[in-house]
Amino acid sequence: MEFQTVVFYLFGAIAVAAALGVILVRNPVHAALCLVLVFFSSAAIWLLLEAEFLAITLVLVYVGAVMVLFLFVVMMLDINVDRLREGFWSNLPLGLLVAAVLVVEMLLVLTGDVFRQASSPPALPTDASNTESIGRVLYTLYSYPFELAAMILLVAMVAAVSLTLRKRKDVRYLDPAEQVKVKAADRLRVISMPAEKE
Amino acid sequence: MMEATWQTLATWFGPTWPAVWVLLKIIALLIPLMLAVAYLTFAERKVIGYMQVRIGPNRVGPKGWLQPIADALKLLFKEVIFPTQANKGLYVIGPIMALTPALLAWVAIPFGENTWIANLNAGVLFVLAVTSLEVYGVIIAGWASNSKYPFLGAMRASAQMVSYEVAMGFGLISVLLVAGSLNFIDIVHSQAQGRFAEMGLGFLSWNWLPLLPLAVVYFISGVAETNRAPFDVVEGESEIVAGHMVEYSGMAFALFFLAEYANMILVSFLTSIFFFGGWLSPVGFLPDGLHWLLIKAAVFLFLFLWFRATFPRFRYDHIMRLGWKVFVPITLIWLFVVTVWLLSPLSIWR
């Protein structure tokens, strides 16, 4: 077996096992960490495809930022596993429906033209920059979809902030800019007075 | 002589030689790095000692020079205590996850024109991605300890490290713009050209001068990213004892320590490479070389220690304010300035 095949199956197996772990383990923190492992092994598989920009960005964005905040929330929650299980049977039909839709979608993608190529594309020269080619395509051919996606994300971000923004009136807040601007003369008065005798 | 030795070794190991060669390079990097970490702790205690008009450690060995060895031996022989309620598996993984990224990032760092372990064409991205994993060690350790102070430390760490990563990343965008590459060696090369470099005053064409605000933001964010004073609320001795490290003892604790100091050295090297010309010589009549990189990094390491001796700890909300409301806007404004500058006829880069 080729070295690349070995690496592919190794990381593929880790990804599948970790993905199963996400839905099977009881502890939500363990599940979140399993998800981190899934992202990580997917990034390794992308590296095999010589897509180093995507692989590194996956680690940088999803593992380095998104999952950290996710863990932050999951760790703070006191999740009762038994209470979560109560709705299992009533939610099952909906869950099965979503799963079926997902399976159909993935089948459509996987049986498409892109995945039917028998052999992997020819290896690129070592000095080819993946980042540069992605940038070139993204800002020319796909610039409208790209900017549309950026706008949608921005709107979602503003919406999330405005939904959770609550201004408390009674909180005592220090403004560092004002603190820095304070001069001694505003606060302190030096007066001269004659010395007093007993 | 050297060539012949490598040839003999290569025939000896046969097809496994590339792997052996990489391992040798890793060992050649790790041993000096670990020694540097050990003696950085010694330097820290000495420097802060002198700044506070004390002598610092001077008992073990001549002038105290064996102190770090004694510390390491003591930590090695101490028992690693597992709290009863701790999550055993994650409790062990915590310190490992702290140290691994701290060492892994060194793979992509170049030490000279031809001295590196891996010359990645997306090296900067790789280092950013790997350093963004550092926070996991703190979070996992804090959660797995199953006690309040470590958990508070972990919560503080996750918010702080993610915030300052944003400022660091934005600061680097301008560096990448002026260098036109994600490769460390190209970034250093881009600093070797310009009007001043031709006049023999190389240090004036390094990135620090045109990108001065970013250099300052980058280094301060680096201090915050490594959780060093004055941004060390993650440990915050006066409030939460030692944060995520409260329950750890012996070698498990030492791993956090190693990671922190390895990260300090890494940030110093990165600042030297991005903004201060890496291994380039500051003036034309002296040759370039590894020693310049080491000198520059040593200056930044001294700044780390100096900060710790000088500044009181930030309050938590002020750390967040500094990161999001001061540093991120500065980097964005300077990104705009650099872009306009780069496209204008006054551009000094291309």
Whether residue B230 is preceded by a cis peptide bond, meaning omega within 30 degrees of 0, is yes
With contacts defined as CB-CB under 8 Å, which chain A residues touch B186? none
Q: Which residues of A touch B151 (CB under 8 A)?
A: 75
Across the interface, do B155 and A76 touch by the CB < 8 Å criterion?
Answer: yes
Helices (H) and strands (E) in chain A, counts: 10, 0
Contact A68 B139 (CB under 8 A): yes
Burial class (CB in 10 A: 0-12, 13-18, 19+), A84: exposed
Measured between beta carbons, the chain A residues lying within 8 angstroms of B132 are 59-60, 63-65
Quick: pLDDT tens for A38-86: 998 999 888 888 788 888 888 888 888 888 888 888 887 766 666 667 7
User: Which chain B residue's Cα is nearest to A76?
Assistant: B155
Q: B342, B181 in Cβ contact below 8 A?
A: no
Is the pLDDT at A107 greater than 70? The verdict is yes
Nearest residue to B174 (alpha-carbon basis) of B24, B269, B275, B61: B275
Estimate the crossing angle of helix B67-77 against helix B17-51, to 10 degrees. Answer: 110
Nearest to B188, CA basis, from B173, B168, B198, B202: B202
| CB B305, CB B228: distance < 8 Å | no
B330: amino acid identity, one letter = I
The predicted model scores a pTM of 0.84
Give the pLDDT band (50/70/90) at residue A97. very high
> How many Å apart are CA A128 and CA B183, to the nearest integer?
12
Rounded to whole angstroms, the Cα distance separating A45 from A56 reads: 11
Angle at B117 between CA B111 and CA B122, to 5 degrees: 90
Size of interface A-B (CB pairs under 8 A): 70
Asked whether the predicted pLDDT for residue A156 surpasses 90, the reply is yes
Residue A33 forms contact with B (CB below 8 Å) = yes
Q: Does residue B30 contact residue B103 with C-beta atoms inside 8 Å?
A: yes
Q: State the pLDDT at residue B58.
A: 86
Question: Are A59 and B165 inside 8 Å of each other by CB?
Answer: no
Question: Which residues, at least 6 apart from B78, have a Cβ–Cβ distance to it below 8 Å?
Answer: B249, B250, B251
Query: b vs e for A117-153, b when ≥16 Cβ sit within 10 Å of the residue's Cβ?
Result: eeeeeeeeeeeebbbeeeeeeeeeeeeeeeeeeeeee
What is the C-alpha R_g of chain B? 21
Residue A155 has pLDDT above 80, yes or no: yes
Q: Does the pLDDT of residue A195 top 80, yes or no?
A: yes
Q: Contact, B228 vs B260, CB < 8 A?
A: yes
In contact, A45 and A12? CB cutoff 8 Å: yes
Q: Among all chains, which residue has been given the structure tokens 């080619």?
A: A133
* Other Cβ atoms within 10 Å of A187 Cβ, number: 7
For residue range B29-51, list pLDDT tens digits in order: 889 998 999 899 999 999 999 99
Contacts of A131 in chain B (CB under 8 A): 121-122, 125, 182
Residues B171/B331, Cβ–Cβ less than 8 Å: yes
- Beta-carbon separation of B151 and A75 below 8 A: yes
**Are B132 and A65 within 8 A, CB to CB?**
yes
**What confidence tens digit (pLDDT) does each residue in B271-320 have?**
999 988 888 888 777 777 788 889 999 999 999 999 988 988 888 888 88
Decide if A133 touches B, using CB distance below 8 A: no
Q: Which two tokens stand for residue B350?
A: 């291309």
Q: In chain A, what residues touch B139 (CB-CB under 8 Å)?
A: 68, 71-72, 75
**Is residue B252 less than 8 Å (CB to CB) from chain A?**
no
Q: CB contact, 8 Å: B125 with chain A? A: yes
> Mutation test of the interface with chain A: which of B16, B136, B147, B186, choosing the one with the most A Cβ atoms within 10 A?
B136
